[in-house]
Structure 1
């Protein structure tokens, strides 16, 4: 159903205040220098986990887990992510998503169908620094579109930005802080890049 490159059967940190199972989807269109899951970047790499195994785990843990988080890589790269989210909800689990918003149409479909209970949204930088951080041209417009949809959806979320020597400098942080304020974006946290 979806390409899964990694799996944490029990996580206490991927959805604040929730006990979840987290699947790490294979593939990402961006190449952030501080990526902590570089093995997941290649979308053509073999998937190591079968969705059926995750689904069976969800069945066994009904009433024990609060939900599932789709992380990555970039989970929106998966064409059938909505099918996996529906399958999890049918098993009685809430659905969380970690995304940077690279695929706004797929994100919009998940939001409009009501398949998401919470989103952890990675804001890479302010508009002027986005392409430098993602090492990808024109990466800001789809992220901004997704971010606006999230803000307007009413879905609970947390916005987070990674800082560190290979990410943002002081001027970048000041610029992003101002941009977030101008757009009424709150519940934002800074996270420190972990050295490899």
Structure 2
């Protein structure tokens, strides 16, 4: 049996029972995909969809504001067969599965995982910074929606990501999405410490002129639920709503 088919379904129909309760983190053996986190139910990770979110451990960038630093190092905390069995029990209850991170494209088995999810009838979403455009091209036919992080204008990327030439892959990934039929939004995490409102507007106008139709600005928070570090002005918000078919301020 190929690796892909063994990922899509356990070898025997009764090998892994359908789970009604979400799997708990466990000690995971070598060779498992790096699924390091799970949110069983989310209404915010894909706008308009009820989703389960699978977080992939591993990311080569070191963004100064990263809200998931525990996912920067590759590791696995869930057994895929157990997750698959639980997802089977969610059919008819959830619309989609979103792969997030970390950087989910860092997982070499991601095409297999997405194909397995698709075989259960779920839509498939992806959160990505566009770090691996070649891998994005591979999974793009499996995707129904992408949330693409655009962190700054080109000259500000490396200072945020801690890596050199980091704008290039993000730009290639954006062009790929613009040329595809896949629904997507671009989103930017904003704090005036690294991006003034004027610079944010310059970035947003550039994205709109390139053809991006859906854009979101995420105010940086020190922790989930915390008060944002700063708030955009009404004038800035009015312009952003004018430039995009869909704009969300989170």
TM-score norm. by structure 1 comes to 0.93
1-structure distance, mates of 2:180, 2:137: 9
Question: How many residue pairs get matched?
Answer: 192
Tell me what 1:154 maps to: 181
Please, which runs of 5 or more residues in structure 1 have no aligned partner? none
- Structure number with greater Rg is 2
Change (3 A) 1:36 1:4: same
Change (3 A) 1:172 1:134: farther
2-structure distance, mates of 1:187, 1:157: 7
Q: Which moved more, 1:151-160 or 1:67-76?
A: 151-160
- 1:48 paired with 2:77, answer yes
* Structure 2 counterpart of 1:193, from 220, 231, 238: 220
Change (3 A) 1:171 1:137: farther
- Structure 1 contact 34–167 (Cα < 8 Å) conserved: no
Shift of 1:171: 4.1
2-structure distance, mates of 1:184, 1:19: 27
Tell me what 2:169 maps to: 142
Shift of 1:148: 0.5
**3-state SS, counterpart of residue 126 of structure 2:** strand
1-structure distance, mates of 2:139, 2:154: 25
Tell me what 1:98 maps to: 127
- 1:30 paired with 2:57, answer no
Change (3 A) 1:94 1:48: same
Shift of 1:58: 1.1
Q: Which moved more, 1:8-17 or 1:161-170?
A: 161-170
Shift of 1:192: 0.5
- Structure 2 contact 185–212 (Cα < 8 Å) conserved: no
- 1:16 paired with 2:47, answer yes
1-structure distance, mates of 2:178, 2:84: 30
Q: Which runs of 4+ in 1 moved over 3 A?
A: none
* Structure 2 counterpart of 1:122, from 149, 155, 171: 149
**3-state SS, counterpart of residue 189 of structure 1:** strand
> RMSD between aligned alpha carbons?
1.3
2-structure distance, mates of 1:2, 1:94: 20
**3-state SS, counterpart of residue 153 of structure 1:** coil
Change (3 A) 1:19 1:181: closer
TM-score norm. by structure 2 comes to 0.74
2-structure distance, mates of 1:75, 1:22: 11
Please, which runs of 5 or more residues in structure 2 have no aligned partner? 1-31, 224-250
User: What does the per-residue CA deviation read over 1:77-132, in whole Å, with 9 as the maximum and x for residues that have no partner?
Assistant: 00010000000011111100000100000000111xx2001111111111111111
